[in-house]
Amino acid sequence: MKKIVSSNYSIWIGENSLSELNVKSYSKVAILVDENTKKDCLYKLPNIEKPIIIEIPSGERNKNITTCNIIWEELTNNEFDRDSILINLGGGVIGDIGGFCASTYKRGIDFIHIPTTLLAMADASIGGKLAVDFNNLKNHIGLFSNPKSVIIDPNFLDTLPENQLISGFAEVVKHALISDKNLWKTIKETPFKKLAWEKIITISAELKNRIILNDPKEKGERKKLNFGHTFGHAIESYYLEKGTPILHGEGVFMGMILETEISILSNSDKNEIKNYILANFGLPYTPPKAELLKFLKNDKKNKSKKINFSLLNGIGRCIIDNLLTENEL
Ligand SMILES: NC(=O)c1ccc[n+]([C@@H]2O[C@H](COP(=O)([O-])OP(=O)(O)OC[C@H]3O[C@@H](n4cnc5c(N)ncnc54)[C@H](O)[C@@H]3O)[C@@H](O)[C@H]2O)c1
């Protein structure tokens, strides 16, 4: 088992990491699940005395304030006080909404993330960003708040559908492209099905943790993590508005292709990245840029009406705050 120390909490990674789940000191314990993590993951948790199970419907379309009401109501009806804790057992949706609800319930109760998707293990559970979607705008309402701990057991991936595994892999590819040339080499040279998940998750989690420790509130270096996400979020919002949501990682893969095109890279690097993604992962149709503009204009990172991109200036290197006008896209 590996322990990564973050600002005021630890991230445990490995087959025995669930032994670090200790909630005995809390007055009440709730476990947030969706229908899939209830079925495939809940039984794998160590015994907890009389937990309240809060189930919400799965999927991005439910990462909204209406679903928050279900969670806040359950906590209220079960008389959760400030000494109680919420365990978020699931993917990035459960982690984001569970952390958001815990951090706002009675001005904040403790929460623990137990991520069960690759995306949540390698990325979403680390860094304290919590949010819900609002009026088809991704992560529009949220805050920064850290969990008490993050417990990552890669065995949860055994039941994860392959498209979800691929979606999570987009964030791993992003981590490699923005700051780890060796990881990019491993990814490129190893067939997807042969990748060693525990090792990949550990490298990815360490890399993200290093960045957020340097810049917890996204004033500088942390913005590198937005590579692929400016276009990626716009594409996700486009599909969300159409009523046919795509997976987050699919949006990020398409976003990375579009943002590679406007990056400061040699043509051979651009082709290497685009060809790798296109050859290995079937992606939905990429909407024309004109259709994405209204979402790009609402991006939280924009400055003086310009769209703010984190772009590559080499494989394994990233520069932040590239401000582009609509016409420059
Ligand atoms: N907070 C952050 O820093 C951050 C970073 C990246 C992404 N995100 C957010 O993460 C979300 C996407 O997360 P996700 O890709 O994990 O999606 P998700 O939470 O929707 O999970 C994907 C699907 O897999 C199912 N599932 C989860 N674990 C399973 C398991 N072990 N076995 C079987 N089924 C399982 C879920 O029920 C769901 O249907 C987005 O909302 C995105 O905005 C947040």
pLDDT tens for residues 83-104?
Answer: 999 999 999 999 999 999 999 9
pLDDT at 172: 97
CA distances (Å), origin 44, targets 132, 244, 326: 27, 32, 49
Q: Ligand 1: which residue has its CA nearest to atom 5? A: 124
Q: Are residues 287 and 207 in the same domain?
A: yes
Q: What is the DSSP letter of 145?
A: -
Domain carrying residue 168:
162-328
In angstroms, the CA 192 to CA 188 distance is: 9
In short, whether 41's Cβ falls inside 6 Å of ligand 1 is yes
In short, whether 229's Cβ falls inside 6 Å of ligand 1 is no
In short, whether 174's Cβ falls inside 6 Å of ligand 1 is no
Q: Which of 144, 159, 174 is the last residue of a domain?
A: 159
Q: Are 252 and 229 in contact (CB under 8 A)?
A: yes
pLDDT at 136: 74
Q: Are residues 197 and 244 in the same domain?
A: yes
Give the tokens for residue 34.
Answer: 């969706």
Residues with catalytic annotation?
107, 129, 171, 208, 218, 222, 226, 229, 233, 248
pLDDT at 245: 87
pLDDT at 279: 95
Q: Which of 132, 159, 186 is the last residue of a domain?
A: 159
In short, whether 263's Cβ falls inside 6 Å of ligand 1 is no
Q: How far is the CA of 94 from the centre of ligand 1 (A)?
A: 7
**What's the number of CA atoms in the CB half-sphere (13 Å) around residue 225?**
25
Domains identified in the chain, total number: 2
In angstroms, the CA 59 to CA 131 distance is: 14
CA distances (Å), origin 250, targets 64, 67, 150, 293: 20, 24, 25, 19
In angstroms, the CA 115 to CA 93 distance is: 10
pLDDT at 296: 93
pLDDT at 201: 97
Q: Are residues 150 and 188 in the same domain?
A: no
In angstroms, the CA 168 to CA 171 distance is: 6
pLDDT at 138: 81
In short, whether 115's Cβ falls inside 6 Å of ligand 1 is no
In short, whether 175's Cβ falls inside 6 Å of ligand 1 is no
Q: Ligand 1: which residue has its CA nearest to atom 37? A: 36
Q: What pTM was estimated for this model as a whole? A: 0.94
In angstroms, the CA 254 to CA 287 distance is: 10
Q: Are residues 174 and 155 in the same domain?
A: no
For residue 166, the domain's CATH number is: 1.20.1090.10
pLDDT tens digit sequence for 22-37 = 999 999 999 999 999 9
Q: Are residues 136 and 210 in the same domain?
A: no
pLDDT at 137: 80
Q: Are residues 46 and 139 in the same domain?
A: yes
Q: How far is the CA of 118 from the centre of ligand 1 (A)?
A: 8
- Burial of 48-84, coded b for 16+ CB within 10 Å and e otherwise, reads eeebbebebebebebbbeebbebbbebbeeeebeeeb
Positions in the chain short of pLDDT 50: none
Q: How far is the CA of 92 from the centre of ligand 1 (A)?
A: 4
Q: Ligand 1: which residue has its CA nearest to atom 20? A: 59
Q: Are residues 203 and 302 in the same domain?
A: yes
In short, whether 34's Cβ falls inside 6 Å of ligand 1 is yes
Residue to mutate, 43, 119, 169, ligand 1, most ligand atoms under 8 Å from C-beta = 119
Q: Which of 103, 131, 159 is the last residue of a domain?
A: 159
User: 224: which strand partners?
Assistant: none
Q: How far is the CA of 95 from the centre of ligand 1 (A)?
A: 8
Q: How far is the CA of 131 from the centre of ligand 1 (A)?
A: 13
In angstroms, the CA 183 to CA 293 distance is: 33
Q: How far is the CA of 283 from the centre of ligand 1 (A)?
A: 18
Q: Ligand 1: which residue has its CA nearest to atom 35? A: 160
Q: Are residues 58 and 199 in the same domain?
A: no
Q: Which atom of ligand 1 is nearest to the CA of 129?
A: 1
Residue 288 parent element (H or E): none
pLDDT at 240: 86
Q: Are residues 78 and 205 in the same domain?
A: no
Q: Are residues 148 and 228 in the same domain?
A: no
Residue to mutate, 117, 137, 172, ligand 1, most ligand atoms under 8 Å from C-beta = 117
Look up tokens 């087959």; give the residue: 15
Q: What is the DSSP letter of 306?
A: B
In short, whether 117's Cβ falls inside 6 Å of ligand 1 is yes
pLDDT at 157: 98
In angstroms, the CA 120 to CA 133 distance is: 17
Q: How far is the CA of 38 from the centre of ligand 1 (A)?
A: 14
pLDDT at 302: 80
pLDDT tens digit sequence for 118-130 = 999 999 999 999 9
Q: Are residues 126 and 236 in the same domain?
A: no
For residue 92, the domain's CATH number is: 3.40.50.1970
Q: Are residues 42 and 127 in the same domain?
A: yes
